[in-house]
């Protein structure tokens, strides 16, 4: 048995410093050697926990998940051992509804590729703009986020997202689930009036809905044709919605809009996911009855109204959990994704179980994005997307990620910020 105990101090590998500062970490090669992580508390993502666990993977797939005493079905003697006694192992966290890789510096227009002009853009695809060389990505994955759904914004129908894995040379390597769904920004029922400072009824609401209805009705008619004489790229892009290969992600927050948008989309037979869902807890029964899942907005946000419970956003995940709605926890933005786990941690103080919180970052997310057959939990046969943390990943006090693997490849956890840290530490060395 080959035993290599790797001791890594918070991922600070000094030797690569100069290189990193220039160009970012090098994507890892495909897994050629089996690895097993021994001794950690394994959080499987499906709610189960195994103390003193053995998690083995080879050729990119998980081959064994069990307790230390169990006899593994694979021959671990050929595997490299990673000692993780006292640590925790988790499935890679998945950031849904993220702008990662589409924006490098928010205020610099030249680095913004997240939002196209035009109202109805289902044909827009985020994947082709996903910048694998973004310096932001390594800072995010070094907090255990290994997959992200990269979502375009702008317009009424913003375009199609893709799920990417965060260790790649280019967007083709990165693609994990290409064009997984179409994103619809549901019209607001109330609008902010800049002059009065009030939220007033959106008079254009009905017209917006009508426009959408025409689009989907005409798209539906279009795809009935065997060979359309004029190819319509927008309708073509909607094809996947009708045949069930793509999901419709409806971005909306209010209870009324959630119901209205679901009732709007259902007759077409779409697979519907609500994104945002600030008031989803108010219509949890409706969501459950209609089998609609929710990607929640940041838990760490302010209540929507003055009168709302001060901790309403903190409580929402637990309320959906209790109601039996399939949901996952998201977070706004791009660089902010590194705080994704804390969004779930915040909900733990307000009624959510810790393992439920983990599921809301892993398996639930995978289910909602339609990738749960491949990832989202530590189960044999799934991709070896996982990481080791010194402690509880939900809590900033202990979420020190020491190793991470994407498809079994041990990825470099260094990033630009760590490199700058090392650089300027040297300045002060006497």
Rank residues 152 and 345 by Cβ distance to other proteins and give the closer one: 345
What gap in Å lies between CA 147 and CA 151, rounded to an integer?
13
- What's the token pair of residue 200? 């007033």
Shortest CB 162 distance to other proteins, Å: 22
| In the complex, minimum distance from the CB of residue 203 to other proteins, in angstroms, rounded to a whole number | 10
Measured from the CB atom, the residue of 218 and 332 that comes closer to other proteins is 332
Structure token pair of residue 310: 């001060």
CB 387, CB 142: distance < 8 Å: no
Least separation in angstroms between CB 100 and other proteins: 11
Cα dihedral 361, 363, 369, 371, rounded to 10, equals 130
Q: 68 vs 200, which CB is nearer to other proteins?
A: 200
Strand partners, 215: none
Q: Residue 138 Cβ, how far from other proteins at the closest point, in Å?
A: 12
Nearest to 167 by CA among 379, 407, 366: 407
Judged by CB, which is closer to other proteins: 150, or 369? Answer: 150
Residue 187 CA to residue 253 CA, distance in Å, equals 10
**Where do the H-state alpha helices sit in 182-325?**
205-224, 233-243, 255-265, 284-289, 312-323
CB of 339 or CB of 407, closer to other proteins: 339
Min dist. Cβ of residue 190 to other proteins (A): 6
CA distance 132 to 165: 10
Shorter beta-carbon distance to other proteins: residue 198 or 213: 198
Phi, psi of 273 (to 5 degrees): -130, 135
> CB under 8 Å to 230, separation ≥6 — which residues?
none
DSSP structural state of residue 25 = P
**How far apart are the C-alpha atoms of 141 and 388, rounded to whole Å?**
12
Tokens representing 162 are: 């893709």
Binding site for other proteins (CB under 8 A): 103-108, 135-136, 189-190, 192, 194-195, 197-201, 254-256, 282, 300-303, 305-307, 309-311, 334-335, 338-339, 342, 345-346, 348-350, 394-397, 399-400, 417-418, 420-421, 424-425, 427-428
Q: How far is CA 419 from the centre of its chain?
A: 26
CB 72 within 8 A of CB 56: yes
In terms of CB distance, is 346 or 402 closer to other proteins?
Answer: 346
Nearer to other proteins, 61 or 315 (CB): 315
What residues contact 224, with CB distance under 8 A and at least 6 apart?
Answer: none
Gyration radius of the chain's alpha carbons: 22
Q: Minimum CB separation from other proteins for residue 97, in Å?
A: 18
Q: How far apart are the first and last CA of the chain?
A: 45
Residue pair 412/387 in contact (Cβ under 8 Å)? The answer is no
Residue 63, both tokens: 């081959």
The residue among 108 and 226 lying less far from other proteins, judged by its C-beta, is 108
- Is the CB of 73 or the CB of 256 nearer to other proteins? 256
Tokens of 98: 């993220």
């Amino acid at each position: 048995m080959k035993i290599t105990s790797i001791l890594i101090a918070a991922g600070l590998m000094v030797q690569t410093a100069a290189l990193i500062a220039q160009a970012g970490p090098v994507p890892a090669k495909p897994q050629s050697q089996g690895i097993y992580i021994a001794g950690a508390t394994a959080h499987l993502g499906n709610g189960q926990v195994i103390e003193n666990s053995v998690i083995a993977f080879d050729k990119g797939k998980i081959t064994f998940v069990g307790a230390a005493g169990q006899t593994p079905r694979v021959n671990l003697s050929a595997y490299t051992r990673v000692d993780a006694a006292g640590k925790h192992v988790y499935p890679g966290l998945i950031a849904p509804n993220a702008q990662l890789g589409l924006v490098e510096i928010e205020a610099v227009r030249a680095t913004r590729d997240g939002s196209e002009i035009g109202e109805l853009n289902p044909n827009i695809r985020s994947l082709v703009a996903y910048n694998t060389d973004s310096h932001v990505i390594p800072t995010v994955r070094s907090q255990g986020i290994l997959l992200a759904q990269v979502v375009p914004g702008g317009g009424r129908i913003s375009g199609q997202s893709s799920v990417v894995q965060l260790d790649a040379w280019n967007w083709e390597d990165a693609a994990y689930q290409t064009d997984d769904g179409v994103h619809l920004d549901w019209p607001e029922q109330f609008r902010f009036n800049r002059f009065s400072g009030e939220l007033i009824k959106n008079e254009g609401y009905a017209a917006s809905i009508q426009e959408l209805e025409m689009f989907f009705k005409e798209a539906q008619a279009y795809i009935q044709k065997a060979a359309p004489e004029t190819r319509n790229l927008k309708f073509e892009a909607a094809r996947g919605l009708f045949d069930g290969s793509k999901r419709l992600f409806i971005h909306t927050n209010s209870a009324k809009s959630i119901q209205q948008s679901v009732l709007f989309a259902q007759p077409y037979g779409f697979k519907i996911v609500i994104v945002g869902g600030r008031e989803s807890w108010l219509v949890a029964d409706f969501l459950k009855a209609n089998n609609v899942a929710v990607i929640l907005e940041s838990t760490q946000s302010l209540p929507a109204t003055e009168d709302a419970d001060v901790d309403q956003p903190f409580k929402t995940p637990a309320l959906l959990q209790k109601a039996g709605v399939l949901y996952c926890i998201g977070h706004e933005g791009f660089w902010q994704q590194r705080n994704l786990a804390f969004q779930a941690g915040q909900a733990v103080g307000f009624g959510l179980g810790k393992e439920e919180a983990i599921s809301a970052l892993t398996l639930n997310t995978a289910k909602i994005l339609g990738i749960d057959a491949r990832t989202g939990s530590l189960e044999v046969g799934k991709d070896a997307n996982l990481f080791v943390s010194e402690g509880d990943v939900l809590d900033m006090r202990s979420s020190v990620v020491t190793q991470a693997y994407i498809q079994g490849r041990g990825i470099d956890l260094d990033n630009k910020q760590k490199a700058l840290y090392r650089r300027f530490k040297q300045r002060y060395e006497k």
